[in-house]
Amino acid sequence: MASPHTLYCTPKMDIASIGFSIWSAEDILKASVVEVTEAKCLQNGVPVEGGLRDPRFGCIHAGTCAFCGQTRHGCPGHWGHISFPIPLIHIAMVAPLVQTLRQHCPCGVVSKKRVCPCGKIKGKYTWVKSGLAVHKNGEVCPTTDFPPEADRFLVRVLPVPPIHIRPPLTVGNTTRGENDLTYRLVNIVRKTHSLSKALADTLPAHVAYERYEALQHAVACYMDNDKVGTNRRNSNRREYTSLAGRIKGKEGTMRGHCMGKRVDQSGRCVITGDNRLKLSEIGIPQSIARTLTKPVKVTDHNLALLKEALVQGKIRYAVLPSGARIDTSVTQPKIRVGWTLEQSLQDGDLVLFNRQPSLHKMSIMAHQVRVLPHNTLRFNAACTTPYNADFVSMWYTVVYSVPLLTLFFFRMVNSLLSTGGFKRVLPPSCSTDCSTEQRHTLLRETP
C-alpha cells in the first residue's frame, strides 16, 4: 500500500496562483505520523515509542525508517504532533489576533469602530508581554472565550519536525545529547502533561492557570525566544535556540546556508588605487594569480602553447582522462591531447570583480587581468563610483573560472554603456558630447 507521504509524478499543469497560509490543526494531523506523548527520548539506549526519538520520525543512521521503510538516503523524514488541552496563542500572530478581537462584537458584526452598530461598546483588548496573555478591559481573557474568527491565530496542535531537522549530538556511535529543539519539545511535553493533570484533577483555578502560563511560555520560546525573553533563575546556562533563531540572524539558515558567500575559484583582498591601469583592467597579486586556475582542454590547436606554458611554470596541475591528477611542481608530464590542464591567471584573462553588497548591476563587472607584484588588488581610482568603493578596510572578491560568455556580458565596458554608468567614470564633456563608439574607446583606453 502506498504511503500518503510518497511523492508522485503529476502531469504537467499550469499554475494559476500560489497561496501561503497558517498550517491548520487539521492539516497538521493529516501530515503527522506519530503523536508525541512521552517526554523521554531514550530508554536504556532504545528510542521510546511516542517519544521525540520515535523511529517513525525518520532514519538518519544505519537501518531503515519505521514508517516508510527507506534508508537514511531515501527517507525524507516525517512529522509528528503534540496536542494541547487548551488553545495557546501563536507568538508570531499576536498583532493580527488583537486586531481581530478589537473588531469583533458578541452580536457577530465585525467593524473597526469602537461602538458596534448594535449599540454595544466593544471591549478593550491589549497584549501583555510579561504574562503572554491578552487582556480584556484590564483582565485576562481566556483563549477559550475567543470568537471563531480568532481560531486561526491559536495553536491547538503543535507540529513536531522530523529528526532530520533536529539530529541528536553524537560522537561516533554514542549519543552525547539532544538537539536544542528537542530539549524545548521535551519541556513542552512535560508542561502539557502537567496542565492536563491539573484539569483532570480539578485543581484550583490559579494552579491550573499557572501551569497554562508555563506551557504558553514554553511554546512561545520554542517558536521565537527573542519575542519572549527569559525567566530562568540561572542565567549562566546557555539558552536553547528557537525555530526563528535557526532561520534568522547571521548564523541562521538563510544567511548562513542559502545566501551567497565565499565560493570556490575566487580570491578576496583589500584594494588600492593605481591610475596606471586602464578602466577595464585590474591588478592581481602574483600570489593570487598563481593560486587561481581554470581548466583548459588540450587540443591539437593549443598543444604547442600549453607545452610552452608548462615549461614557464604557468600550469599547476594536469588531469588525465582517467581522473588522475598530476602536480606539475613535482613532475612535468608529457602533455597529450585530451588531457585537462589547470592554468594559472595570465595577463589578459577576464575575471569577475565584486564588492558586496551588490546593490545594482555595476557592483559586479568583468575586468582584464594584469599580474603585478605586491599583495593588494588594484584598479583605476575612477572605477570607485560604480562599485561605491573606498580604500578603508573593504574586502573585494575576484572570481575566476567563469564561462567566457558570462564574462563577456559582465565586461566593464558593456556594463557601463548599457546602464549609463559611463557618466560616473568619464569627464562630463565626454559623457554628454561623445558618441557611443567614442565612449567605448575612451573606456577601453583610459587613462
Backbone angles phi, psi at 85, to 5 degrees: -70, -25
CATH number, domain of 42, equals 4.10.860.120
Check residue 62 and give its pLDDT: 83
CATH number, domain of 432, equals 2.40.40.20
d(CA 10, CA 8): 6
d(CA 4, CA 27): 13
pTM tops 0.85? no
| One domain, residues 370 and 270 | yes
Helix, strand, coil % over all residues of the chain, rounded to 5: 30, 25, 45
Check residue 446 and give its pLDDT: 44
| One domain, residues 160 and 281 | no
Under a CB-based contact definition with an 8 Å cutoff, are residues 102 and 109 in contact?
A: no
Where does residue 265 fall: left (phi above 0), alpha (psi -120 to 50 degrees), or beta otherwise? left
DSSP 371-432: EESSSSEEE-GGGHHHHT--SSS-EEEEE-S--HHHHHHTBHHHHHHHHTTHHHHS-HHHHH
Check residue 21 and give its pLDDT: 84
Check residue 54 and give its pLDDT: 93
The answer, yes or no, to whether the previous bond of 162 is cis (omega within 30 of 0) is no
| Range 165-170 contact pairs with CB under 8 angstroms and sequence separation of 24 or more | 165/77, 167/60, 168/53
| One domain, residues 88 and 175 | yes
d(CA 426, CA 438): 11
Residue at 12 is within a domain: no
d(CA 114, CA 329): 82
| One domain, residues 223 and 354 | no
Residue at 305 is within a domain: no
Check residue 13 and give its pLDDT: 74
Check residue 416 and give its pLDDT: 56
> In total, how many domains does the chain have?
2
Domain boundary among 177, 197, 227: 227
Per-residue pLDDT tens digits of the chain, which is 447 residues long: 444 444 434 566 788 888 888 889 999 999 999 999 999 988 888 889 999 999 999 998 888 899 998 998 889 999 999 999 999 999 999 999 999 998 888 887 888 888 888 888 888 999 998 889 999 988 999 999 898 889 999 999 999 999 999 999 887 777 788 899 999 999 999 999 999 999 998 889 999 999 999 999 999 999 998 888 665 544 557 788 899 988 888 778 777 777 666 667 788 888 888 888 888 888 999 988 888 888 889 999 999 999 999 998 889 999 998 888 899 888 888 989 999 999 888 898 888 888 877 777 778 888 888 999 988 999 888 888 888 887 765 677 777 656 665 666 566 555 555 555 545 554 444 444 455 554 454 444 444
| One domain, residues 279 and 405 | yes
Residue at 157 is within a domain: yes
Check residue 197 and give its pLDDT: 93
Containing structural domain, residue 33: 25-227
| Three cell numbers, residue 152 | 486561526
